[in-house]
Amino acid sequence: MRHPDPVTLLPIGEFAARGILFDLDGTLVDSAPDLIGACNRMLKALGASSVDPARARGWIGNGARRLVEQVLAGGFSDTDPAELMDQAYPLFEQFYQEDLCRDSVLYPGAQETLARLHQAGKPLACVTNKPAVFARPLLEGLGVTRYFDPIIGGGDLPCKKPDPLPLQHVADQWALAPTDCVLVGDSISDFRAARACGMPVILVNYGYSQGLDLAELGADAVIDSFAQVTEIIQLSEE
């Protein structure tokens, strides 16, 4: 089923969300240039050829370890995959930590939208599968850490998205029901986590969807601009 552009499935102002949770990579931040750059530096250190950036973009969205696994797949047939990962992942971590905010940028409208939501008194959280050792410095480098409390990175809790635990953890911290919150994300993992938690979910269609047609998943809304978040979510009580 196709939807008109912009792909908004709910009327303007439909969500009276009391708290808003955001995914990081592909939702708030286009981090692909630095993630892929670190992968290619890792491959060079291992004596392998670089990966095509356009192809590697499709592998982003399931966490850093899964990205590295996919980058390595098929290029080292004579090496045990577990041993290769033990060698490669520390290199990726080193290179990414050195340049995690070199070319990564907030998506258009993100800074202004976060500021507007914050000014309206909405509690905001960042919930990502990206390891916290990367997520927090990236948010700091982009100047938006102050908007989020809490920031939940991959590994901070026993389970990551698509498990609902991180979303429920944030709702509990805010003393809100999941139905009083909304998750803004870009992937099927975000969708599944929200549905399992009973939380409304808005998906952006410009992120790392890994080729999926997000409009067909059944999200509460699919939007093509971060700024549309404030068109859908009520900023004040009626």
19-70 pLDDT, tens digit per residue, is 999 999 999 999 999 999 999 999 999 999 999 999 999 888 777 888 999 9
Distance CA 233, CA 53 (A): 35
99 CB neighbour count, 10 Å cutoff: 15
Examine the domain organization and report whether 66 and 145 are in the same domain.
no
Of 50, 65, 98, the last residue of a domain is 98
Tell whether 8 is covered by a domain: no
Tell me how many domains the chain contains: 2
Examine the domain organization and report whether 174 and 193 are in the same domain.
yes
Tell whether 237 is covered by a domain: no
Mean pLDDT across the chain, nearest whole number? 90
Tell whether 220 is covered by a domain: yes
Q: Contact at 8 Å (CB) between 184 and 23?
A: yes
Kindly give, in sequence order, each residue whose CB lies less than 8 Å from that of residue 39, ignoring residues fewer than 6 positions away.
51, 56, 67, 68, 71, 92
> What is the residue range of 46's domain?
32-98
pLDDT computed for residue 93 by the predictor = 96
pLDDT computed for residue 64 by the predictor = 87
Examine the domain organization and report whether 68 and 180 are in the same domain.
no
172 CB neighbour count, 10 Å cutoff: 11
Examine the domain organization and report whether 109 and 219 are in the same domain.
yes
Tell whether 77 is covered by a domain: yes
pLDDT confidence of 77, banded at 50, 70, 90?
low
Q: Indicate left, alpha or beta for 212 from its phi (over 0: left) and psi (-120 to 50: alpha).
A: beta
Q: Is 23 a catalytic residue?
A: yes
pLDDT confidence of 119, banded at 50, 70, 90?
very high
Of 81, 98, 115, the last residue of a domain is 98
pLDDT computed for residue 7 by the predictor = 45
Tell whether 2 is covered by a domain: no
| Coil/strand/helix, residue 173 | helix
Distance CA 42, CA 75 (A): 13
Distance CA 60, CA 236 (A): 35
Examine the domain organization and report whether 216 and 122 are in the same domain.
yes
Q: Which of 5, 23, 180, 190 is catalytic?
A: 23
